[in-house]
Amino acid sequence: MEKILDRFLRYIAIDTQADPNSESQPSAAKELNLSKLLCEELTAMGVQAELDEYGYVMATIPSNCDKDVPAIGFIAHVDTAPDAAGACTNPQIIENYDGSDIPLKGVEGLALKVSDFPEMLAYKGQTLITTDGTTLLGADDKAGIVEIMDAVQYIVNHPEFKHGEIKIGFTPDEEIGRGVVKFDVAKFGAKYAYTMDGGAIGELEYENFNAAAATVKIQGRNIHPGYAKGKMLNAILIGMELNALLPVEQRPEYTTGYEGFYHIIGFNGTVEEASFTYILRDHDMGLYEDKKAYMRKCVDFINEKYGAGVATVDIKHQYYNMRKEVEPHYHIVEKAKKAMEMEGIVPNIKPIRGGTDGANLSFMGLPCPNIFAGGHNFHGKMEFVPLESMEKASKVILNIISLYAE
């Protein structure tokens, strides 16, 4: 069997950044480079697999037991976030991590500091894989892909391992909220599934944010600054004024647990026109709707102050909290919990302060909680993953399969 580390290093070297400005699916053709490779590797292992026109890889391992076992799926996404360069060709591998800071490249003084990330100390003595400080690592979600592929390889190499029908799915564009827009649940054929897309070892989630994206556009009026008094409307400043209307205490850096937020993620502008992009999040549906309504109220205030049409907002729904769809099938959460305990892992059941493909899949008729993939500090150059966490996650997959086949 190929070692998890070797497989992981192969996958993270492939650039699969999603493109939020593209309307195609997948949003970036380069995502298909990994999807094609995964399909070829599954086929080479003797697993029936196919890659469709939308970038979905679907594969099936037939049941080898004579019991009536529901088909179980495992899903991960091939794309990485657009926040930093996506091809990690120079990762750092720190064996027997000693608990000290880990220097990074790119910017002078850049480092993974224990003072900033004290959770690093939980992995003393383990092997940490980090970026070099110039790219993402890609553990979100190539760690999940590796864990699934490693479990598949084990099953193929151990025909004595009893299991029901197993479904494997790899999706594009999860990072831009379009991961399963064209996913054919009926074709996939699983009754229940799990996304391998969580963070630290032990994480198990069946609740997530309700989510929307908002784009605010400000139409200013540019006048020569020498003659601007009473005439100029500076779109940048007006947008900043609107942003200041949003509650400071409801920003991501001040919230935790079930608390929602307004998060400005982008700005582009001149005096003449400016745009501000946000994501709105809340676990509670009522508070989620309140956030959307308040954003519209802020736009109305700006228009009352500066004139009709100066500010506009486009709010697009992204996904709902999957708890409503998963809780009636809570046994799938219990099986994942037991599968972790079988590996000596203490399950950490908590809400996702984000979303996964599983959220939308759950509302499409495929209950789909989320299991840890092992990584930390996703979406940035501080990303790292302990090798041992990925190894444990692969065993958790096998344990889940065994529990259903009992």
The DSSP result for 141-195, as a single string, is HHHHHHHHHHHHHHHHH-TTS----EEEEEES-GGGT-TTTT--HHHH--SEEEE
Phi and psi angles of residue 385, each rounded to the nearest 5 degrees, phi first: -145, 135
3-state secondary structure of 371: strand
Which letter does DSSP use for residue 283 in this model? S
Residues classed as catalytic: 79, 174
Count CB neighbours of 290 within 10 A. 15
- Three-state DSSP state, 359: helix
Tell me which residue of 245, 242, 204 sits closest to 220, measured CA to CA. Answer: 242
Q: Which amino acid, one-letter code, is at 386?
A: P
Establish whether the linkage from the previous residue to 173 is cis, with ω within 30° of 0: no
Answer whether 26's CB lies under 8 Å from 161's CB. no
Alpha-helix runs per DSSP H in 196-345: 235-245, 285-306, 323-326, 331-341
Torsion of CA 288, 293, 299, 305, to 10 degrees: -130
Q: Which of 180, 144, 140 lies closest to 16, judged by CA?
A: 140
How far is 339 from 393, CA to CA, in rounded Å? Answer: 10
Angstrom distances, CA of residue 128 to CA of 104, 122, 123, 140, 378? 13, 11, 8, 15, 15
Contact 242, 299 (CB under 8 A): yes
**Alpha-carbon gap, residue 58 to 66, rounded angstroms:** 24
The answer to whether the beta carbons of residues 369 and 330 sit under 8 Å apart is: no
- Cis previous bond, 252, omega within 30: no
